[in-house]
Copies of this chain bind each other. A is one copy, B any other.
Amino acid sequence: MLKPFSDRVSGLQPSAIREILKFTADPEVISFAAGNPAPEAFPVKIIEKLSSQIFAEEPIGALQYSVTEGYAPLRERLKEELAQKGLFKSGDMVVITAGAQQAIETTAKILLNEGDVIICEDPAFIGSLNAFRSYGVRLVGVPMDGDGMSVEGLEAALKANPSAKLIYTIPNFQNPTGLTSTLKRRREMLELAKRYGVYILEDNPYGDLRFEGEGVPSIKELDDSGAVLYAGTFSKTLAPGLRVGYLLGCEEIVKKAVVGLQTSTVHTNIWAQMLTYRFLKEVDFEEHLERLRGIYRAKYRRMRDGLRRELPERIELTEPQGGLFIWGTLPEGRDMNVFCSEAVRNKVAVVPGNAFSADERAVSRSFRMNFSTPTDEQIDQGVKILGKVARELLG
Protein backbone atom coordinates (compact mmCIF):
# COMPACT_ATOMS: atom_id res chain seq x y z
CA MET A 1 0.00 0.00 0.00
CA LEU A 2 3.06 2.20 0.39
CA LYS A 3 2.99 5.20 -1.90
CA PRO A 4 6.23 6.86 -2.91
CA PHE A 5 7.60 9.74 -0.88
CA SER A 6 7.42 13.30 -2.08
CA ASP A 7 9.82 14.13 -4.89
CA ARG A 8 11.64 16.59 -2.67
CA VAL A 9 12.78 13.94 -0.19
CA SER A 10 12.80 10.78 -2.30
CA GLY A 11 16.53 10.89 -2.87
CA LEU A 12 17.40 12.45 0.46
CA GLN A 13 19.73 10.29 2.51
CA PRO A 14 20.74 10.52 6.15
CA SER A 15 23.86 12.61 6.62
CA ALA A 16 26.93 10.61 5.58
CA ILE A 17 28.55 11.76 8.81
CA ARG A 18 26.02 9.70 10.71
CA GLU A 19 27.22 6.62 8.86
CA ILE A 20 30.75 7.38 10.02
CA LEU A 21 29.53 8.05 13.53
CA LYS A 22 28.22 4.48 13.66
CA PHE A 23 31.82 3.33 13.85
CA THR A 24 32.37 5.67 16.75
CA ALA A 25 29.84 3.73 18.80
CA ASP A 26 32.81 1.36 19.24
CA PRO A 27 34.44 2.79 22.40
CA GLU A 28 37.87 1.86 21.03
CA VAL A 29 37.40 4.18 18.06
CA ILE A 30 38.81 7.69 18.47
CA SER A 31 36.41 10.05 16.75
CA PHE A 32 37.70 13.05 14.85
CA ALA A 33 34.41 12.79 12.91
CA ALA A 34 31.98 14.67 15.13
CA GLY A 35 31.31 18.39 15.27
CA ASN A 36 30.32 18.60 18.92
CA PRO A 37 31.50 21.41 21.17
CA ALA A 38 33.95 20.35 23.88
CA PRO A 39 31.91 19.15 26.88
CA GLU A 40 34.24 21.12 29.19
CA ALA A 41 33.09 24.26 27.36
CA PHE A 42 29.55 23.96 28.75
CA PRO A 43 28.92 26.36 31.66
CA VAL A 44 27.02 23.64 33.53
CA LYS A 45 26.93 25.25 36.98
CA ILE A 46 25.65 28.57 35.67
CA ILE A 47 23.01 26.91 33.49
CA GLU A 48 21.87 24.85 36.47
CA LYS A 49 21.56 28.00 38.58
CA LEU A 50 19.73 29.97 35.89
CA SER A 51 17.35 27.07 35.30
CA SER A 52 16.46 26.99 38.99
CA GLN A 53 15.85 30.73 38.89
CA ILE A 54 13.48 30.31 35.96
CA PHE A 55 11.39 27.75 37.82
CA ALA A 56 11.42 29.84 40.97
CA GLU A 57 10.48 33.08 39.23
CA GLU A 58 8.43 32.34 36.13
CA PRO A 59 7.48 28.65 35.96
CA ILE A 60 4.25 29.12 34.00
CA GLY A 61 6.01 31.25 31.40
CA ALA A 62 8.61 28.51 30.99
CA LEU A 63 5.97 25.82 30.40
CA GLN A 64 3.09 27.53 28.55
CA TYR A 65 2.78 28.13 24.81
CA SER A 66 4.71 31.16 23.63
CA VAL A 67 4.89 33.30 20.51
CA THR A 68 6.54 32.04 17.33
CA GLU A 69 8.79 35.10 17.04
CA GLY A 70 10.61 34.05 20.20
CA TYR A 71 10.88 35.08 23.85
CA ALA A 72 10.58 38.88 23.73
CA PRO A 73 13.40 39.71 26.21
CA LEU A 74 15.79 37.44 24.31
CA ARG A 75 14.86 39.02 20.99
CA GLU A 76 15.32 42.52 22.43
CA ARG A 77 18.68 41.62 23.92
CA LEU A 78 19.84 40.01 20.68
CA LYS A 79 18.67 42.99 18.70
CA GLU A 80 20.71 45.33 20.91
CA GLU A 81 23.83 43.19 20.72
CA LEU A 82 23.53 42.63 16.98
CA ALA A 83 22.98 46.37 16.48
CA GLN A 84 26.11 47.13 18.52
CA LYS A 85 28.06 44.77 16.27
CA GLY A 86 26.66 46.51 13.20
CA LEU A 87 24.66 43.47 12.14
CA PHE A 88 21.13 44.59 12.94
CA LYS A 89 20.17 47.38 10.53
CA SER A 90 17.18 49.63 10.27
CA GLY A 91 14.29 47.58 8.85
CA ASP A 92 15.72 44.32 10.17
CA MET A 93 14.01 41.75 12.38
CA VAL A 94 15.23 38.72 14.30
CA VAL A 95 13.32 35.49 15.00
CA ILE A 96 14.41 32.72 17.35
CA THR A 97 14.80 29.26 15.77
CA ALA A 98 15.67 25.76 16.95
CA GLY A 99 19.35 26.21 16.11
CA ALA A 100 20.79 27.83 13.00
CA GLN A 101 19.79 24.66 11.16
CA GLN A 102 16.11 25.60 11.42
CA ALA A 103 16.91 29.17 10.34
CA ILE A 104 18.58 27.75 7.23
CA GLU A 105 15.87 25.20 6.49
CA THR A 106 13.13 27.80 6.90
CA THR A 107 14.93 30.24 4.63
CA ALA A 108 15.02 27.57 1.92
CA LYS A 109 11.34 26.82 2.48
CA ILE A 110 10.13 30.38 2.17
CA LEU A 111 12.42 31.56 -0.65
CA LEU A 112 12.99 28.71 -3.08
CA ASN A 113 10.84 26.73 -5.42
CA GLU A 114 11.79 23.22 -6.43
CA GLY A 115 14.33 23.46 -9.22
CA ASP A 116 15.60 26.89 -8.12
CA VAL A 117 19.34 27.18 -7.59
CA ILE A 118 21.38 27.79 -4.45
CA ILE A 119 25.04 28.59 -5.00
CA CYS A 120 27.28 27.32 -2.21
CA GLU A 121 30.89 26.87 -1.34
CA ASP A 122 32.17 23.50 -2.46
CA PRO A 123 32.72 21.76 -0.07
CA ALA A 124 30.03 23.05 2.29
CA PHE A 125 28.23 22.09 5.50
CA ILE A 126 26.28 18.90 4.81
CA GLY A 127 23.42 19.83 7.17
CA SER A 128 22.65 22.91 5.11
CA LEU A 129 23.11 21.11 1.80
CA ASN A 130 20.60 18.47 2.91
CA ALA A 131 18.17 21.14 4.09
CA PHE A 132 18.36 22.70 0.62
CA ARG A 133 18.03 19.31 -1.07
CA SER A 134 14.94 18.61 1.04
CA TYR A 135 13.17 21.36 -0.93
CA GLY A 136 14.21 20.02 -4.29
CA VAL A 137 16.65 22.90 -4.77
CA ARG A 138 19.54 22.47 -7.23
CA LEU A 139 22.95 23.01 -5.65
CA VAL A 140 25.70 24.66 -7.63
CA GLY A 141 29.06 24.47 -5.87
CA VAL A 142 31.80 27.07 -6.28
CA PRO A 143 35.34 26.01 -5.41
CA MET A 144 37.20 27.66 -2.53
CA ASP A 145 40.74 28.85 -2.21
CA GLY A 146 42.55 30.17 0.85
CA ASP A 147 40.63 33.46 0.61
CA GLY A 148 37.15 31.90 0.51
CA MET A 149 34.73 31.22 -2.34
CA SER A 150 36.24 31.88 -5.79
CA VAL A 151 34.79 35.12 -7.10
CA GLU A 152 35.30 34.12 -10.73
CA GLY A 153 33.56 30.85 -9.94
CA LEU A 154 30.71 32.67 -8.23
CA GLU A 155 30.15 35.06 -11.12
CA ALA A 156 30.25 32.19 -13.62
CA ALA A 157 27.69 30.30 -11.52
CA LEU A 158 25.42 33.36 -11.32
CA LYS A 159 25.63 33.84 -15.09
CA ALA A 160 24.96 30.19 -15.82
CA ASN A 161 22.01 29.96 -13.40
CA PRO A 162 19.45 32.71 -13.83
CA SER A 163 17.16 30.85 -11.38
CA ALA A 164 19.74 31.23 -8.62
CA LYS A 165 18.14 32.94 -5.65
CA LEU A 166 20.59 32.42 -2.82
CA ILE A 167 24.30 32.22 -2.13
CA TYR A 168 25.04 30.14 0.95
CA THR A 169 28.28 30.78 2.81
CA ILE A 170 30.02 30.16 6.13
CA PRO A 171 32.62 32.93 5.97
CA ASN A 172 34.29 32.20 9.32
CA PHE A 173 36.19 28.93 9.92
CA GLN A 174 34.01 27.19 7.39
CA ASN A 175 32.63 23.73 7.96
CA PRO A 176 34.29 21.55 6.70
CA THR A 177 37.46 23.36 5.58
CA GLY A 178 38.16 25.71 8.48
CA LEU A 179 38.83 28.48 5.91
CA THR A 180 37.92 32.12 6.50
CA SER A 181 36.87 34.49 3.70
CA THR A 182 38.90 37.67 3.43
CA LEU A 183 37.23 41.07 3.72
CA LYS A 184 37.93 41.70 0.04
CA ARG A 185 36.26 38.43 -0.88
CA ARG A 186 33.23 39.22 1.29
CA ARG A 187 32.84 42.59 -0.39
CA GLU A 188 33.08 41.00 -3.83
CA MET A 189 30.50 38.36 -2.96
CA LEU A 190 28.12 41.03 -1.71
CA GLU A 191 28.60 43.14 -4.85
CA LEU A 192 27.88 40.16 -7.06
CA ALA A 193 24.80 39.22 -5.02
CA LYS A 194 23.43 42.73 -5.40
CA ARG A 195 24.30 42.94 -9.07
CA TYR A 196 22.57 39.63 -9.86
CA GLY A 197 19.65 40.21 -7.47
CA VAL A 198 20.19 37.18 -5.25
CA TYR A 199 20.27 36.86 -1.48
CA ILE A 200 23.26 35.80 0.57
CA LEU A 201 22.57 33.48 3.49
CA GLU A 202 25.48 34.04 5.85
CA ASP A 203 25.80 31.20 8.34
CA ASN A 204 28.05 32.09 11.25
CA PRO A 205 28.07 29.34 13.86
CA TYR A 206 31.77 29.65 14.69
CA GLY A 207 32.49 33.38 14.41
CA ASP A 208 32.73 33.86 18.17
CA LEU A 209 35.24 31.04 18.42
CA ARG A 210 38.16 32.87 16.81
CA PHE A 211 41.22 31.76 18.75
CA GLU A 212 43.87 33.34 16.52
CA GLY A 213 44.25 36.36 14.25
CA GLU A 214 42.02 39.36 13.65
CA GLY A 215 38.25 39.29 13.18
CA VAL A 216 36.79 40.11 9.76
CA PRO A 217 33.50 42.05 9.43
CA SER A 218 30.57 39.87 8.56
CA ILE A 219 28.87 40.22 5.18
CA LYS A 220 25.67 41.27 6.97
CA GLU A 221 27.64 44.14 8.49
CA LEU A 222 28.90 45.23 5.08
CA ASP A 223 25.43 45.27 3.56
CA ASP A 224 22.87 48.05 3.63
CA SER A 225 20.69 46.73 0.83
CA GLY A 226 18.80 43.97 2.66
CA ALA A 227 20.48 41.35 0.51
CA VAL A 228 21.96 39.42 3.42
CA LEU A 229 20.18 36.98 5.71
CA TYR A 230 22.16 35.91 8.73
CA ALA A 231 21.87 32.65 10.69
CA GLY A 232 23.25 32.67 14.21
CA THR A 233 23.29 30.11 16.99
CA PHE A 234 24.14 29.51 20.63
CA SER A 235 25.04 25.89 19.89
CA LYS A 236 28.77 26.49 19.89
CA THR A 237 28.91 29.29 22.48
CA LEU A 238 26.41 27.97 25.05
CA ALA A 239 25.12 24.45 24.36
CA PRO A 240 23.76 22.73 21.24
CA GLY A 241 21.25 20.54 23.11
CA LEU A 242 19.26 23.71 23.87
CA ARG A 243 18.56 24.19 20.14
CA VAL A 244 18.54 27.98 20.23
CA GLY A 245 19.53 29.92 17.14
CA TYR A 246 18.14 32.81 15.15
CA LEU A 247 17.51 34.27 11.73
CA LEU A 248 18.29 37.95 11.16
CA GLY A 249 17.32 39.86 8.04
CA CYS A 250 14.97 42.39 6.55
CA GLU A 251 11.58 42.41 8.18
CA GLU A 252 9.61 41.29 5.14
CA ILE A 253 11.60 38.05 4.83
CA VAL A 254 11.82 37.32 8.54
CA LYS A 255 8.07 37.85 8.95
CA LYS A 256 7.48 35.19 6.31
CA ALA A 257 9.94 32.95 8.15
CA VAL A 258 7.78 33.41 11.26
CA VAL A 259 4.75 32.17 9.32
CA GLY A 260 6.81 29.17 8.22
CA LEU A 261 8.02 28.42 11.75
CA GLN A 262 4.49 28.69 13.08
CA THR A 263 3.53 25.71 10.92
CA SER A 264 6.57 23.66 11.89
CA THR A 265 7.55 23.90 15.57
CA VAL A 266 5.15 26.71 16.67
CA HIS A 267 7.99 28.13 18.76
CA THR A 268 11.40 27.17 20.12
CA ASN A 269 11.48 25.49 23.56
CA ILE A 270 10.75 28.42 25.82
CA TRP A 271 12.82 27.33 28.84
CA ALA A 272 15.89 27.22 26.58
CA GLN A 273 15.13 30.72 25.30
CA MET A 274 14.74 32.04 28.84
CA LEU A 275 17.97 30.36 29.84
CA THR A 276 19.83 31.91 26.93
CA TYR A 277 18.44 35.32 27.79
CA ARG A 278 19.44 35.04 31.42
CA PHE A 279 22.88 33.83 30.42
CA LEU A 280 23.42 36.84 28.16
CA LYS A 281 22.13 39.17 30.85
CA GLU A 282 23.89 37.79 33.91
CA VAL A 283 27.17 36.45 32.59
CA ASP A 284 30.05 38.39 31.12
CA PHE A 285 29.67 36.80 27.69
CA GLU A 286 32.96 38.09 26.34
CA GLU A 287 34.78 36.58 29.31
CA HIS A 288 32.89 33.33 28.78
CA LEU A 289 33.92 33.34 25.11
CA GLU A 290 37.54 33.96 26.09
CA ARG A 291 37.43 30.79 28.18
CA LEU A 292 36.00 28.82 25.25
CA ARG A 293 38.60 30.28 22.87
CA GLY A 294 41.30 29.14 25.27
CA ILE A 295 39.91 25.59 25.23
CA TYR A 296 39.66 25.47 21.44
CA ARG A 297 43.01 27.17 20.86
CA ALA A 298 44.75 24.55 22.98
CA LYS A 299 42.92 21.67 21.33
CA TYR A 300 43.53 23.04 17.86
CA ARG A 301 47.25 23.55 18.43
CA ARG A 302 47.61 20.13 19.93
CA MET A 303 46.01 18.52 16.89
CA ARG A 304 47.83 20.79 14.42
CA ASP A 305 51.22 20.13 16.01
CA GLY A 306 50.52 16.40 16.14
CA LEU A 307 49.43 16.28 12.52
CA ARG A 308 52.47 18.28 11.38
CA ARG A 309 54.68 15.87 13.27
CA GLU A 310 52.99 12.66 12.19
CA LEU A 311 51.55 13.18 8.70
CA PRO A 312 53.67 13.16 5.53
CA GLU A 313 54.15 16.71 4.25
CA ARG A 314 52.42 15.82 1.03
CA ILE A 315 49.10 15.83 2.90
CA GLU A 316 47.93 19.46 2.86
CA LEU A 317 46.30 20.81 6.00
CA THR A 318 44.29 24.01 6.41
CA GLU A 319 45.24 26.31 9.27
CA PRO A 320 41.99 27.58 10.75
CA GLN A 321 42.03 30.57 13.10
CA GLY A 322 38.90 29.41 14.88
CA GLY A 323 36.02 26.97 14.79
CA LEU A 324 36.17 23.22 15.18
CA PHE A 325 37.68 21.68 12.06
CA ILE A 326 40.89 21.02 10.13
CA TRP A 327 40.67 19.90 6.50
CA GLY A 328 43.25 17.53 5.11
CA THR A 329 43.89 16.85 1.43
CA LEU A 330 45.80 13.88 0.03
CA PRO A 331 48.21 14.25 -2.90
CA GLU A 332 46.81 14.14 -6.45
CA GLY A 333 45.71 10.68 -7.53
CA ARG A 334 45.26 9.30 -4.02
CA ASP A 335 42.00 7.71 -2.93
CA MET A 336 40.53 9.43 0.09
CA ASN A 337 38.06 6.58 0.65
CA VAL A 338 40.88 4.09 1.12
CA PHE A 339 42.52 6.46 3.60
CA CYS A 340 39.32 6.95 5.60
CA SER A 341 38.53 3.23 5.62
CA GLU A 342 42.04 2.36 6.73
CA ALA A 343 41.84 5.02 9.43
CA VAL A 344 38.61 3.57 10.80
CA ARG A 345 40.05 0.04 10.61
CA ASN A 346 42.84 1.40 12.79
CA LYS A 347 40.27 2.94 15.14
CA VAL A 348 40.31 6.59 14.11
CA ALA A 349 37.23 8.08 12.41
CA VAL A 350 37.48 11.10 10.09
CA VAL A 351 34.81 12.28 7.63
CA PRO A 352 35.43 11.64 3.91
CA GLY A 353 35.41 14.90 1.97
CA ASN A 354 32.79 13.88 -0.56
CA ALA A 355 30.17 14.05 2.21
CA PHE A 356 30.43 17.83 1.83
CA SER A 357 30.23 18.07 -1.95
CA ALA A 358 27.41 19.94 -3.61
CA ASP A 359 27.48 17.15 -6.20
CA GLU A 360 27.10 13.94 -4.23
CA ARG A 361 28.82 11.90 -6.93
CA ALA A 362 31.92 14.08 -6.93
CA VAL A 363 35.23 12.56 -5.91
CA SER A 364 37.31 14.16 -3.21
CA ARG A 365 40.87 13.85 -1.97
CA SER A 366 40.03 15.52 1.33
CA PHE A 367 38.82 14.63 4.79
CA ARG A 368 37.55 16.58 7.81
CA MET A 369 39.06 16.34 11.27
CA ASN A 370 37.44 17.74 14.40
CA PHE A 371 39.52 18.81 17.38
CA SER A 372 36.82 20.02 19.77
CA THR A 373 35.28 16.71 20.80
CA PRO A 374 38.25 14.37 21.46
CA THR A 375 40.24 14.57 24.69
CA ASP A 376 43.92 15.57 24.63
CA GLU A 377 44.92 11.92 24.92
CA GLN A 378 42.62 10.98 22.06
CA ILE A 379 44.09 13.75 19.92
CA ASP A 380 47.64 12.55 20.63
CA GLN A 381 46.86 8.92 19.97
CA GLY A 382 44.60 9.62 17.00
CA VAL A 383 47.11 11.72 15.07
CA LYS A 384 49.76 9.02 15.61
CA ILE A 385 47.43 6.43 14.11
CA LEU A 386 46.56 8.73 11.20
CA GLY A 387 50.29 9.24 10.63
CA LYS A 388 50.89 5.50 10.51
CA VAL A 389 47.98 4.94 8.11
CA ALA A 390 49.14 7.82 5.88
CA ARG A 391 52.74 6.66 5.74
CA GLU A 392 51.66 3.13 4.85
CA LEU A 393 49.38 4.39 2.09
CA LEU A 394 51.55 7.15 0.64
CA GLY A 395 54.79 5.32 1.17
Task: Please judge, given known A-B contacts A2-B252, A130-B263, whether A241 and B62 are in contact too, CB under 8 Å.
Answer: yes
Cβ–Cβ contact A99 & B265, under 8 A:
yes
Q: How many copies does the complex hold?
A: 2
Q: Which of A197-225 contact B (CB under 8 A)?
A: 197-199, 225
Give the distance in Å from the alpha carbon of A141 to the alpha carbon of B260 in the complex: 22
| Distance in angstroms between the alpha carbons of A1 and B253 in the assembled complex | 12
Enumerate chain B residues within 8 angstroms of A48, measured Cβ to Cβ.
52, 55-56, 59
Residues on the B chain within 8 Å of A44, using CB: 55, 59-60, 63
A15 to B362, CA, bound (A): 43
Judged by a CB distance under 8 angstroms, whether A51 is at the interface is yes
Min CB gap A167→B, angstroms: 13
Instruction: Report if A240 contacts B (CB, 8 A).
Output: yes
- Identify which of residues 12-52 in chain A touch chain B, using a CB-to-CB cut-off of 8 Å: 12-15, 18, 34-37, 39, 42, 44, 47-48, 51-52
**B131 & A264 in contact (Cβ 8 Å cutoff):** yes
Check A256/B5 contact, CB under 8 A, given A59-B44, A60-B42, A269-B243. yes
Q: Does A355 contact B (CB under 8 A)?
A: no
Chain A residues within 8 Å of B, Cβ to Cβ:
1-3, 5-9, 12-15, 18, 34-37, 39, 42, 44, 47-48, 51-52, 55-56, 59-66, 98-99, 101-102, 105, 109-114, 116, 127, 130-131, 133-135, 165, 194, 197-199, 225-227, 235, 239-243, 250, 252-253, 256, 258-260, 262-272
Distance from A198 Cβ to chain B, minimum over Cβ atoms (Å): 8
Q: Are A7 and B113 in contact (CB under 8 A)?
A: yes
Whether A197 and B111, one on each chain, are in contact in the complex, defined by CB atoms closer than 8 angstroms, is no
- With A265-B101, A266-B99, A271-B271 as given contacts, are A109 and B241 in contact (CB-CB < 8 Å)? no
B2–A240 CB distance below 8 A: no
User: Could you say which of B1, B242, B262 contacts A271, with CB atoms under 8 Å apart?
Assistant: B242
Instruction: Identify the closest chain B residue to A34 (Cβ).
Output: B65
Does B265 lie within 8 Å of A2, measured CB to CB? no
Q: Give A37 to B134 CA distance when docked, in angstroms.
A: 34
Question: Given A42-B63, A259-B12, do A5 and B110 touch, yes or no (CB 8 Å)?
Answer: yes
CB contacts (< 8 Å) of A165 on chain B: these are: 3
With A14-B262, A48-B55, A258-B14 already in contact, the answer to whether A197 and B3 are too (CB < 8 A) is yes
Cα separation A266 to B235 with both chains bound (whole Å): 12
Are the C-beta atoms of B225 and A243 separated by less than 8 Å?
A: no
Residues of B within 8 A of A51 (CB): 51-52, 55
Alpha-carbon distance A48/B59, docked complex (angstroms): 8
B114 A266 Cβ-Cβ under 8 A: no
Task: Given A1-B226, A64-B239, output 7 extra A-B contacts at Cβ < 8 Å.
Answer: A9-B260, A101-B263, A241-B270, A243-B267, A265-B265, A269-B271, A271-B272
Cβ distance A276 to chain B, nearest Cβ, rounded Å: 12
**Can you report 18 residue pairs joining A to B where beta carbons are below 8 Å apart?**
A2-B250, A3-B197, A3-B199, A6-B111, A6-B112, A12-B256, A14-B258, A37-B64, A42-B63, A47-B59, A65-B235, A102-B264, A105-B264, A127-B266, A134-B264, A240-B266, A242-B269, A243-B269
